[in-house]
Amino acid sequence: MSETLTIKISQSFWDFTKEEWNLLVPPDSVFQEYEFLSGLESTGCIGNSDWMPVIFSARRDGILLGVLPAYLRRDSYGEYIFDFQWANAFHRAGIPYYPKLTVAVPFTPVTGSRILLSLDLNEEEKTNISSLLLQSLLEYGKENDTSSVHILFCKEDEQKLGIQNSFAPRISHQYHWFNKGFANFEEFLSTLVKDRRKTIRQERRKISESGLTIQTLTGDQITEEHAHIFYEFYQDTHSKKWGQAYLNRKFFIEMHKNFRHRLLLVLASDPSGKPVGGSLNVFRDGFLFGRYWGALEHVPNLHFECCYYRLIDFAITHKMERVEAGAQGEHKFLRGYEAVPMYSLHHIYNEQGRAAIESYLEREIVMERENISAYNSQSPIKSLREGT
């Protein structure tokens, strides 16, 4: 197979067609779809000095069989698997940490396939092509004087393959909601301890009595006006909490134009029809991802309704498997989301730096697994708390 396989490096998603690229994207990796990634590039959110695409692809007889989209980075912002301490240690030692290579969805802390492969491949071919792409990634990083290569929020099987290809594993955690075949929201609540059921019912009742109208919008229900509204929400959240925003208005318009079939908007409006707040979410098949939240007015419990409860409602109604609501977690945990491991991979070229970081990662993995177990032992989900 390798005799007729061609590995190529591209600097733009426009070197591929939407049709050939999307054939490789599994349902649980919707942010790797062509419309999303090329939309980031076409609107200038990536392709600048912070996120330069370096896309490794494998073709046989002109047919695209695998891609590994990476980015040349000159900082670590927008990655959510933090390595700032590593960068500081390198700086103190007089060793450059940037540039580095990162394999992730820019600004998007969600799990998914980081190596996209043709469904027509058998398991041996998938392993071989994945390994070739990983080795090409490592060779590129070394030849271009990067300090390291990082593969973030990958799947567990990708982590195992990465270990076989000179990467060190890392584990962090998030909080995800899992559908246990619930018929409705009340049935989900029945799986929680009494005090949490009571609190959640109170929070939802207060929103229902607030006078707000809350819409759940998908597909062609979403207009370009909504793109502008949610950009304002996004800007407001970043100005209050996160500082500089990563995305621009053009990107939200682009998502309405080419990606609205994947969007779920939860929009709250006051009695006059004025938008007050809401969440922008992305879904495909059985997987729903909460992404951007914003509110122009403070309404108690509105965040929980728009970012958690309406997503759970939607997932139950559409028999979806999982809801991921992104980074951070105390509020999610208290509302029935489970602590789960997040997997990443790291290759450090400097030998001393690699030895120190890998030693740290070994200890961190043990700690994180203990943390996940401890969190779930205190979960409001009765079965997790009881260990059943």
Same domain, 91 and 128: yes
**CA pair distance 155, 29, nearest whole angstrom:** 10
Does residue 242 have a pLDDT over 80?
Answer: no
Give me the percent of the chain exceeding a pLDDT of 70.
97
The residue assigned the tokens 């649980």 is 28
pLDDT on residue 88? 97
DSSP 145: T
Same domain, 307 and 221: yes
The pLDDT tens digits of the residues spanning 101-115 come to: 999 999 999 999 999
pLDDT bracket for residue 2 (50, 70, 90): very low
Q: Does pTM surpass 0.75?
A: yes
pLDDT bracket for residue 330 (50, 70, 90): confident
**CA pair distance 6, 133, nearest whole angstrom:** 10
Q: How many domains does the chain have?
A: 2
pLDDT bracket for residue 1 (50, 70, 90): very low
> Residue 236's CB: how many other CB atoms inside 10 A?
17
Same domain, 52 and 193: no
Rounded to the nearest integer, the mean pLDDT of the chain is 95
The pLDDT tens digits of the residues spanning 137-147 come to: 999 999 999 99
Q: Return the half-sphere exposure (C-beta side, CA atoms, 13 A cut-off) of residue 66.
A: 24
Asked whether the beta carbons of 7 and 58 are under 8 A apart, the reply is yes
pLDDT bracket for residue 387 (50, 70, 90): confident
Peptide bond into 300 cis (omega under 30): no
Does residue 158 have a pLDDT over 50?
Answer: yes
Same domain, 15 and 112: yes
CATH of the domain at 46: 3.40.630.30
Q: Which domain holds residue 53?
A: 2-173+341-377
Q: Is residue 273 part of a domain?
A: yes
The pLDDT tens digits of the residues spanning 356-367 come to: 999 999 999 999
Pull the structure tokens for residue 260. 């609205």
Residues sharing a CB contact under 8 Å with residue 197, sequence separation 6 or more, in sequence order: 189, 190
Q: Is residue 89 part of a domain?
A: yes
Same domain, 235 and 137: no
Does residue 239 have a pLDDT over 90?
Answer: no
